[in-house]
Amino acid sequence: DRVLGLSFDSDAAEATSGRTMIWGTALKEMMQAPWTFFTGYGFDVYSTMGFEYAPHNTYLGLLFNLGLPGLVAFLLIIVQAVLAARNAAESASPTARAYLISFVVGFIALCVAIFFVELHEPWLYVWAYTGLAMRVVVCLRDAKAAESKLPAAASRSESAVGRRVLGRQTANSNR
Residue type, 37: F
> What's the pTM value of the predicted model, to 2 decimals?
0.71
- Tally of residues, the chain: 175
Q: Mind listing the pLDDT tens digit for each residue in 80-108?
A: 999 999 999 998 999 999 999 999 999 99
How many angstroms separate the first and last alpha carbons of the chain? Answer: 63
Comparing C-alpha atoms, which of 32, 158, 53, 34 is closest to residue 61?
A: 53
| Confidence tier at 113 by pLDDT (50, 70, 90) | very high
User: pLDDT at residue 4 above 50?
Assistant: no
The angle at the Cα of 100, spanning 144 to 116, to the nearest 5 degrees, equals 145
Q: Mind listing the pLDDT tens digit for each residue in 138-175?
A: 999 998 888 887 665 444 445 554 555 555 554 444 44
Burial 145-171 (b: 16+ CB within 10 A, else e): eeeeeeeeeeeeebeeeebebbbbeee
Question: What phi and psi, each to the nearest 5 degrees, are found at residue 86?
Answer: -65, -45
3-state secondary structure the chain: CCCCCCCCCCCHHHHCCCHHHHHHHHHHHHHHCCCHHHHCCCCCCHHHCCCCCCCCCHHHHHHHHHHHHHHHHHHHHHHHHHHHHHHHHHCCCHHHHHHHHHHHHHHHHHHHHCCCCCCCCCHHHHHHHHHHHHHHHHHHHHHHHHHHHCCHHHHCCCCHHHHHHHCCCCCHHHC
pLDDT of residue 80: 97
Q: Would you say 37 and 4 are in contact if contact means Cβ atoms under 8 Å apart? A: no
